[in-house]
Amino acid sequence: MVELVCDVQVIIESGTGMLHTESWETFAASEGTPFHTGRFLLSWWHDRVAKNPASQLITAKVVDEDRVVGICAFELDSGLLSFAGGRDVVDYMGPVAAAGREKEVAAALAQWMFDAAPWTRASLAGLIHNDAAAQAIIDEVVRIAPDAAVEAYDQAPRIEAAPQGYLALLNSKRRADILRKRNRLIEAVGELELVISTPATVCDSLEQLLTWKAEASPATGEFVTDYGAFVRTMVGELAAVDAAHVVELHADGRALASAIMLAHGNTAFIYNMAYDMNLPIEDRAGLAPGVVLVSLLVERNLDSGLRFDFLKGAQDYKLRLGGVPVDLIEVAVER
């Protein structure tokens, strides 16, 4: 379906076809996040539709003549319209727009939503507070539906840059705490090394991470049961284009902790992590292999000139490591 809105066209398709196109992937790669790419969304959708066959995937491209200026993926399930991606596994959702075209893209998508989409309730979550495309769609939905509820439901800490180096970015207390944890772990297990997965090792490294996560608590065990298959598919798809790795913290040839890292543009995202809670060390009190791993990953990426995104959840350790929380917004509408 193609609709003309002002000077742009909205192309609407049901199903996954649009996610396979080069134009979608190129635009998501240049303007979006890992969660907007076809490889990520297809992994999510295959898991989602297997669990809920009645759900419908709807994709939208906003084009100006032959140029893509915006994209957005939606899910329609029993009258509920949402952005594609479940909150349990997807952090950032919603429209992506070319710089300077955010209002046009938002107006086009909102017009389709309110004029043509068959929903009774809308829950539009995953919108980043300080993102221009996200703010534009919020403003447009509220303009059309003044009773829409807009609220922050979570936060995603991030560090934008560290031109003087990561450790110099921190105050003396936080810097000393990080160095103390690193030294304490080195004293207990020996020198530390970061080992980055290769195409040949990524599957085994991921299985170790999921095993540790499943053993950590009933809640994380349930997560692995529910979403382990999705995580395996997603990491495999993104690893194939060098956009995902499992990074392990090693000492004396043994993995102590590991994290799934997503690479996109100038940003490193830590998607999930786990550590070995059964380290064969007599005195494990005060050891924090997970926090040490994350601190080393933050330092490595910031010192390479990248941004670091801790993703959803403003846990204390993320803030102590220097993360600055950014609100995640949901817009809820009924009609």
What is the per-residue DSSP string for 11-59? Answer: EEEESSGGGGSHHHHHHHHHHS-GGGSHHHHHHHHHHHHHH-TT-EEEE
Q: What is the pLDDT of residue 286?
A: 67
pTM of the model: 0.94
Residues sharing a CB contact under 8 Å with residue 283, sequence separation 6 or more, in sequence order: 188
Residue 181 backbone zone (phi > 0: left; psi -120 to 50: alpha; other: beta) = alpha
Asked whether residue 282 carries a pLDDT value surpassing 60, the answer given is no
The span from the CA of 331 to the CA of 262, in Å, is 27
To the nearest whole number, what is the mean pLDDT of the chain? 94
Using CB atoms within 10 A of its CB, is residue 54 exposed (0-12), middle (13-18) or buried (19+)? exposed
Say whether pLDDT at 4 is over 70: no
Which residue would you say has higher pLDDT here, 287 or 39? Answer: 39
Secondary structure of 131-181 in the HEC alphabet?
CHHHHHHHHHHHHHCCCCEEEEEEEEEEECCCCCCHHHHCCHHHHHHHHHH
Angle at 171 between CA 169 and CA 176, to 5 degrees: 105
Query: Could you tell me the two tokens for 61?
Result: 């491209």
Place of tokens 């970061």: 194
Token digits of residue 216: 């950590």
- pLDDT of 53 higher than 80: yes
Counts of helices then strands in the chain (DSSP H, E): 10, 14
pLDDT tens digits along 10-34: 999 999 999 999 999 999 999 999 9
Q: What percent of the chain has pLDDT over 70?
A: 96
Q: Tokens in use for 271?
A: 């998607």
Across 41-69, average pLDDT: 96
Task: Give the contacts of 333 (CB within 8 A, at least 6 positions apart).
Answer: 121, 122, 124, 141, 145, 147, 148, 149
Q: Answer yes or no: is pLDDT of 237 > 70.
A: yes
Chain centre distance of CA 299: 20
Predicted pLDDT at 281: 60
Length of the chain (residues): 335
Distance CA 144, CA 91 (A): 26
Is residue 284's pLDDT more than 80?
no
Beta strand pairing call for 267-275 and 121-128: unpaired
pLDDT at position 277: 84
